[in-house]
Each structure stands twice: as C-alpha cells, then as structure tokens.
Amino acid sequence: MKRPRTLGELKASGWPLERLRRGVREEARANLAAKLRTGAPLFPGVHGYDETVIPALVRAILARQHFILLGLRGQAKTRILRSLVRLLDSELPALDTPLRDNPLSPVSPEGRRLLAEAGDDAPLVWLAPEDRYVEKLATPDVTVADLIGELDPIKAARRGEGLSDLEAVHYGLIPRANRGVFAINELPDLPARVQVALFNVLEEGDVQVRGFPLRLPLDVWLVFSANPEDYTARGRIVTPLKDRIDAEIRTHYPRHLAAGMRITRAEARLPEGVRIPDFVARAVERVAFLARRDPRVDPSSGVSQRLAIALLEQVAAGAEVRALIHGEAPLARPRDVYGGLPAITGKLELEYEGELVGAEALARELIARAFAEEWGERPGLEAVTAWFEEGRSLELPDAAETAWAHVREVAPLADLAAPHAPSAAEGVAWAEFALEALVGRGALTRTEAGYRKSPSPEEAAGGRETLPP
C-alpha cells in the first residue's frame, strides 16, 4: 500500500487514525500486551533476566511509567533501553516539523501554523521505530540548551518577529524526541541544574526557554540508566528528580553460568571454523564469576560481562593463530585462556590486597581456579599427581601432534585424555584441562617451561623450617 503523502490522503486512506490519539507510552503498552498474548519474545538478546528484570520492565511499561535501570557496568542497561523501539509501531505519520508533530494535534508553533495554512494539504513524513529513539550520554558539560533548547537570535532576525517569536526557538534533544523515546545514560553525571530542567518535562510538559514561557505538552517517554557507584564517585540524582521517575529497576550480573554463557556466545565476535570445547568456554565464564566473588576485586565497580566476551574472543584468536602457524584445525585449548590475559587485567578494579598481588598474577590465579572448579569431581587426577611427585616435569608445545606425543609419555595423563581424543588436538586440549585443574588445586605449578610439582611450604620458604606460633 502506498503511503499517504498529505493529511487529506491519510484521512481518506483508511489508515487507523485512532493510533494518532494515543501517546507513545500507550502505544508501547498496547504492543507489549499483544506480544504477551501471542508469546512473542519481549526483549530478544537479553538473557538472565527472565525472572527478575523483565517482569519489572513489563509492569512498568503496562503502567505507562518513566523508569530508570540501576546497575553496575556491563549489565545490558543500554541494550534494554534501545530495545524499547521494538514496542513502537512499525510506522507513524508526522508533520514535517522539528518536533515531528502529530498531524491531528500539533504541539509546536510551526506545526500549528502549518496545519492552519495548509489544512488537509499539509505534507507528511513517515517515522520508523528507530527514528523515534533518541539517546544521550550524560556528561558534566551537558547544558539545559542541549536538552531543552534555546532562542536562536539569527533565526529570530531572519523572521523579523523579534526575540519573543516562539518559532525562533532552536529545540534541544528532548523536544526533538517528541512522540518517541528519550534515553539518558549515566544520569548521575548530569549536572544538578540540568536535572532540575527535567522536572516539568516529566510531570507537566512546561518548558521555559531563556525566560520565555513556552507551553509544549510533549509526548516523550523518558527512560534512564545509572550506575550505583556514581552516586558517590561522580555525582548523584537529585531527590526531586528521583521522586518523579516512576520506577527504579535493578539490573544484575548473570546468576547462573548457563545464562552468562548465552550472553557471551551471543555477543562474542568469533571467527568461523574455530572450535571451542565446552570445558574451555565454561572456564572462560567461570573466570568472570570468580572475579565477582573475589574479595581482592572492588565489588562496587563490578566485573562487566564484557570480560567474558572479550576473553572468549581472545581464546578463539589464540586457536586461530596456532592453526595458521602449524597448519592444523583451529581448536581452542586451556593455554589460550592464559593468552587472553589482556582481556582480563584491564577490566578488574582491584582493592588494596589485589594491588599487592597485581592484576596479571590475580588473573592467572582466577584462570587456574576456573579450570579446577570446572573439573569438579571428575576422577583420575590422583594418578597424574603421583607421576609429578617423582620430580618430573612436562612441557606441551603449541603443535598438537608434538604435544600429543609428549602427553603419551605420561601414562596416567594419556589414559585420562585418551577417551576424549578422537584427534591429537582434542587429546592435548583435554590433557591441558586436567593439568590446569591440578594447578588450580595447588598440586602443580605452571611455568614457561611446562608443568611441575608445586613446592611444599618448606620448599617455598627456601628450605627453612617454620616454627609453630
């Protein structure tokens, strides 16, 4: 069907004009209700929130509320805000004005003048859902003019109507988001005086521009995100504004490993053809989970899900490098997780105890603990430990065939890996898994030269006996 180009054509086309009589929040409510009835996905790509955040979002949307997502970094807050466009109509007619006025009830002076002069011949534009989403990252240099607008003296001079001409206003981001969604990320970073300017937008729709009262009953759905750390670290949300935001919805990190892995797999940019064994992928995710629980990592800063995503990408890249050099199929091994240290160290905000250890040493410890935790109660490690107890060491080269030959020289390790070795690369990967589990348990030490038995406390102290307290 050809889109109507004028208001008159729209009225004659049979297009449902009742859609123009509802606000954006009512529109989102109706479309969400339709999805709930049919069982359609509500927020595709958002995992781990099915029993917590999403039910709270559903209630806020059905209640037609402005809301804020409050949570640490890397908890999909921005993704959720951007996904709200899925709840908007596939297309919406508007007057060709800066505020994209409703053809039946324009709110801007330009829109009212256009309708008065052109009537049913007023030209229309059609808005896609993406056209109706405006996002702003709050920074200390944001001004009221950026968000609300200001008088443009050049425009006023050209029109010859003086400084009281309301059509000489240069509108800010919020008026230009009329009939859509306006999102502010990191709200506490917004200066207090600018936050105050949002009061009437949230409640009454009154806007003042440079002392001139301008009544704009805007139809804007205001949504926000914030990090709790920012309340004390960089700024705060002023109390009257918090009171005017209808709902505060708390986000969180994945509470289960499977949910975290779904997020990581969905977001990671992995090269085609690279195989990542399940125990390696699970260990990658466990690194993030362990870091969030480690007392040496600052809990107020959090450990972003981006850590696991970036680490998995590094693991895949390590496997690809080895395959290109040695001409073998790209298969990830536990050693590739250590190769991804740069994806970990830059994402950990450390407490004092963590600074003493150092980010890289802590990251290596987290990786070893992740493999030990992933190994769990699987049998067979005792015999491998006994082999190293005799003072032996083992080096596993990069090349899979050579490394597999080394593994087969260690009978208990070869017996452990053989059932999982349809190929040399897979056998070596499983052997490294077992060895890293022993490192995580403290039975072995991983060095540049390979694996060897961990020194006893007396050996670690230089052979000196320690006296009891």
| pLDDT tops 70 at residue 154 | no
Q: 319-323 long-range contacts, Cβ below 8 Å, gap at least 24?
A: 319/274, 319/275, 319/276, 320/271, 320/274, 322/398, 322/399, 323/274
pLDDT (mean) for 28-34 = 98
User: Model-level pTM?
Assistant: 0.85
- Report CA torsion sign: 280, 285, 286, 288: positive
pLDDT at residue 463, rounded to an integer: 47
Confidence of residue 213 (pLDDT cuts 50, 70, 90): low
pLDDT at residue 77, rounded to an integer: 95
The angle subtended at Cα 15 by Cα 10 and Cα 17, nearest 5°, is 85
pLDDT at residue 459, rounded to an integer: 60
CA distances from 109 to 117, 118, 173, 325, 336 (A): 12, 14, 17, 68, 62
Confidence of residue 353 (pLDDT cuts 50, 70, 90): very high
| pLDDT tops 50 at residue 104 | yes
pLDDT (mean) for 428-448 = 95
CB 431 within 8 A of CB 441: no
Write down all domains in the chain, each with its CATH number in brackets: 7-250 (3.40.50.300), 254-376 (1.10.8), 377-463 (1.10.10)
Please give the residue that has the higher pLDDT: either 165 or 180: 180
**Three-state SS annotation for 82-123:** HHHHHHCCCCEEEECCCCCCCCCCCCCHHHHHHHHHHHHHCE
Which range is least confidently modeled, 153-162, 229-238, 258-267?
153-162
Measured distance CA(175)–CA(305) in Å, rounded: 34
Confidence of residue 300 (pLDDT cuts 50, 70, 90): confident
pLDDT at residue 208, rounded to an integer: 63
pLDDT at residue 157, rounded to an integer: 53
pLDDT at residue 205, rounded to an integer: 61
Measured distance CA(428)–CA(361) in Å, rounded: 25
Q: What is the pLDDT of residues 61-71, one digit of tens each?
A: 999 999 999 99
Please give the residue that has the higher pLDDT: either 214 or 110: 110
CB atoms within 10 A of CB 73: 16
CB 398 within 8 A of CB 322: yes
pLDDT (mean) for 212-229 = 83
Measured distance CA(120)–CA(9) in Å, rounded: 8
